[in-house]
Amino acid sequence: MSIQTVRTGDLEYLVSTLIDTPHCFSTRRGGVSEGYLASLNLGWRRGDREENVLQNFRILGDAVGFAPEDIVVSEQIHSTIVERVGRADRNSHFRGTSRERDGIVTDEPEVALVAYGADCPTILLYDPVHRAVSAVHAGWRGTAAGIAARAVEKLTAEYGTDPADVRAAIGPCIGRCCFETHREVPDAMLAALGADALPAIDRESDAAPYDGEVHFHVDLKLLNAIWLRRAGVREIDVCPDCTACEPERFWSHRRTNGHRGSLAAIITLK
């Protein structure tokens, strides 16, 4: 199992060898957006022209295997809300039917689930037995609250998924190397996961624990993998790439102070 890079002309995206239904984690390469959004911006609310975003989805969809009209997006709010969607929810941006949530699940073919990121982790889940999928946005608040596990639970509740059958992929996001925080973030992880969170947290070696000025480095990918394992998932791919380390390849909110486009994790059933 591994995360692999796919290149088609100027287009570049990532896939997991664990997941054998059309899916991807986008990069910023291969689209038509211009200026600071060049070139594969997939966010509707980043200041881009709507026709550019639609064309970017079309370019990516032609390569991956989904239609822009089939996408379902969410109003991401750093929550643990995971909802079931289907064909009736497709083309949600243009129909004005996007809802506040951070995870979506479906077992209906031709529905392309989208989770946005630009430093926040995105997670794709696939149940090959019951043929169900999920796309999850897991910012640090959602990570602390266990949205990855909530998505697995939603698959089980809606479709009878056995977590042991789930194949998971955690996409590119800000890495431990660049995610420097004050105590708020590690405190939240330790409160949620206890000692299991400790391997994902580094602190300044010469500072007293939990002093207000201490800086920590936190591994959001590892923390989400911990949640998935706690939920019973056994097969997990983790992308090694850091969005903040490679701003020419990925969108990074932290590196650009929010002046950026959006990455997307997308999965669909065929």
Q: In 209-270, which ranges are E strands?
A: 216-218, 235-238, 263-267
pLDDT for res 95: 83
pLDDT for res 1: 66
Q: Does the domain at residues 3-174+233-267 carry the CATH identifier 3.60.140.10?
A: yes
**How distant, in Å, are the alpha carbons of 52, 79, 254 from that of 182?**
38, 21, 15
Query: Using one digit for the tens of pLDDT, what is the confidence trace for 133-152?
Result: 999 999 999 999 999 999 99
Q: What percent of the chain shows pLDDT beyond 70? A: 97
Classify each residue of 227-251 as buried b or exposed e, where b means 16 or more C-beta atoms within 10 Å of its C-beta. bbbebbbebbbbbebbbbeeeeebb
**Cα R_g (the chain), whole angstroms:** 18
Query: Using one digit for the tens of pLDDT, what is the confidence trace for 73-82?
Result: 999 999 999 9
Element (H, E) at 146: none
Q: What is the mean pLDDT of residues 181-195?
A: 95
Provide the token pair at 102. Answer: 């951070």
Provide the token pair at 111. Answer: 């529905």
Give the β-pairing of 23-26 and 11-16.
antiparallel
User: Cα–Cα distance between 250 and 29 in angstroms, integer?
Assistant: 8
Query: Using one digit for the tens of pLDDT, what is the confidence trace for 104-125?
Result: 999 999 999 999 999 999 999 9
Q: Which among 142, 126, 130, 161 has a CA at the least distance from the CA of 227?
A: 142
Contact between residue 154 and residue 135 where contact means Cβ atoms under 8 Å apart: no
Query: Using one digit for the tens of pLDDT, what is the confidence trace for 200-223?
Result: 999 876 555 556 678 899 999 999
Other beta carbons less than 10 A from residue 156's beta carbon: 18
User: Cα–Cα distance between 26 and 266 in angstroms, integer?
Assistant: 8
Provide the token pair at 29. Answer: 């390469």
